[in-house]
Amino acid sequence: MTTTAPAADVLTARERLVRAAQELYAEQGVDATTPRQVLERSGVGQGSLYHHFPSKTDLARTALVRTTEESLDTARGTLAGGGSSSGRLRAYLGAPRDALAGCAVGRMTSDPVVMADPTLRAPLEEYFTGLLDLVTLALWEQGFSESEAHDRAMSVVATVQGGYVLARALGDDTALERALRGARTLCGLEES
Amino acid sequence: MTTTAPAADVLTARERLVRAAQELYAEQGVDATTPRQVLERSGVGQGSLYHHFPSKTDLARTALVRTTEESLDTARGTLAGGGSSSGRLRAYLGAPRDALAGCAVGRMTSDPVVMADPTLRAPLEEYFTGLLDLVTLALWEQGFSESEAHDRAMSVVATVQGGYVLARALGDDTALERALRGARTLCGLEES
């Protein structure tokens, strides 16, 4: 533990560690990511890693919370912005997605390290609960009943997640977009 | 390599290794599964493992092909069986699924070892291609046009996959069933 480093430097190293972990988790998951890889990607020293994040779990928790908060902020930007509910749903379903990379949040549900630790699964649950609320509200504004809006939101978010799975399994980045046509129908949106 | 063991014993050890690998992959993925775990689960000796499967990839390829073939056979049993297309689609969507365990095939799309090796990804692609064909045909028999049937099949299979993701993220095994209500709508099935 260094006591002479200025606060700004400390923050910067910590930030670089978190961002490196976020990238590596999105690429290969938490389980497959080693401290050495995080150090190499971040460019910070080993002492700094263990100073800020004494355990692998500390780093994983911080990076997963960051990733899920950023993803939910993005969804909020389209689904809770201004305009009609149909326009907002259209914007959410039409948002640019790297289908072959998969969802940085959804893929964590297959990571044995994440699923074995309730403190690592918690950010995933918060993300999907928040996202489902946003989609449910937009569907309710579309005129669906409360229970219909809840169920269709589950279908719509599932279609996004499963569309990523299909794109990766088929090696076909159009699979997600094609799956989302069905989600548009469930949202009461006309095909353009 | 033993030369004195009767053929039946050799087959049995190989089979136990494959089944142990299938179980472990479904629970924690290929990347996280060690040869030691496969040996312990199967109860066979170390020499037998390396005799039958010289590399981790050999075992993974065999076990993944087995899992995907078994899963496709199950789908074929409901989707290509007798009866009306609506009855077969209903049977497929209503099939028992362990939502919190996730899909033994779909989850492999988040496994870095599987996705990095085209020979390991190939069984996933074959599985989903075969499954999509079965669902597309049933939807076409329901009266959808060819392109509509193709797109809705992609949505329906994506909903199943994403329903598993949501169930695991939320820790709620009803999420998959609720997501599938939307898939029933897309299949032109009335809610019961």
- The domain of A80 spans 7-186
Q: Chain B neighbours among A 94-153 (CB < 8 Å)?
A: 102, 105-112, 115, 121, 124-125, 127-129, 150-152
Number of domains in chain A: 1
The answer to whether position B177 is within a domain reads yes
B165 domain residue, yes or no = yes
What pLDDT was estimated at residue B12?
85
Q: Residues of chain B with pLDDT > 90: what percent?
A: 91
Contact partners, residue A135, CB within 8 Å, separation at least 6: A79, A89, A92, A153, A156, A157
Query: What single string gives the DSSP state of each residue in chain B?
Result: --SSS-HHHHHHHHHHHHHHHHHHHHHH-STT--HHHHHHHH---HHHHHHH-SSHHHHHHHHHHHHHHHHHHHHHHHHSSSS-HHHHHHHHHTS---GGG--TTGGGGG-HHHHH-HHHHHHHHHHHHHHHHHHHHHHHHTT--HHHHHHHHHHHHHHHHHHHHHHHHHT-TTHHHHHHHHHHHHTTPPP-
A11-64 per-position pLDDT tens digit: 589 999 999 999 999 999 999 999 999 999 999 999 999 999 999 999 999 999
CB B92, CB B47: distance < 8 Å? no
User: Within a domain: residue B192?
Assistant: no
**Residue B76, CB-side half-sphere exposure with 13 Å CA sphere:** 10
**Structure tokens belonging to residue A92:** 């959410």
- From A153's Cα to the closest Cα of chain B, the distance in A is 8
- In angstroms, the Cα distances linking B177 to A105, A107, B131, B145, B166 are 21, 20, 19, 27, 11
Query: Would the CB atoms of B181 and A109 count as touching at under 8 Å?
Result: no
Answer whether A29 touches B (CB < 8 Å): yes
Searching chain A, which residue's CA lies closest to the CA of residue B120? Answer: A169
Residue B33, chain A, CB below 8 Å: the answer is: no
The answer to whether A29 and A37 are in contact (CB under 8 A) is: no
Mean pLDDT to the nearest integer, B44-73: 96
Residue B120 lies in a domain: yes
Residue of A nearest to B131 (CA): A166
Q: Is the pLDDT score of B8 beyond 80?
A: no
Contacts A161 to B, Cβ<8 Å: 158, 161-162, 165-166
The tens digit of pLDDT for each residue in B115-169 reads 999 999 999 999 999 999 999 999 999 999 999 999 999 999 999 999 999 999 9
User: CA A147: distance to chain centroid?
Assistant: 26
Among A106, A114, A120, smallest CA distance to A71 is for: A106
Give domain status of residue B2, yes or no.
no
Do the Cβ atoms of A110 and B107 come within 8 Å?
Answer: yes
Q: What is the pLDDT of residue A167?
A: 98
- The alpha carbon of A163 is separated from its chain's Cα centroid by a whole number of angstroms, namely 15
Residue B6 above 50 pLDDT? no
Residues (pLDDT < 70) of chain A are 1-11, 191-192
Q: Which of A164, A168, A186 shows the shortest C-beta gap to B182?
A: A186
CB contact under 8 A, B155 and A159: yes
Number of helices (H), then strands (E), belonging to chain A: the values are 9, 0
In a domain, B43, yes or no: yes
CATH of residue A147's domain is 1.10.357.10
Provide the pLDDT for residue A9.
Answer: 54
- Residue-wise pLDDT tens digits, B102-126: 999 999 999 999 999 999 999 999 9
Say yes or no to pLDDT of B2 above 90. no
pLDDT tens per residue across span B27-54: 999 999 999 999 999 999 999 999 999 9
Instruction: Give domain status of residue B191, yes or no.
Output: no
CA angle A22, A24, A29 (to 5 degrees): 95
Q: Is position B74 within any domain?
A: yes
Residue in B155, B156, B174, B180 to test binding to A, most A beta-carbons within 10 Å: B155
So what's the pLDDT on residue A81?
A: 85
Are the Cβ atoms of B102 and A109 closer than 8 angstroms?
yes
8 Å CB contact between A148 and A139:
yes
**Residue in the block written with tokens 């509200």:** A137
* CB distance B79 to B85 below 8 Å: no
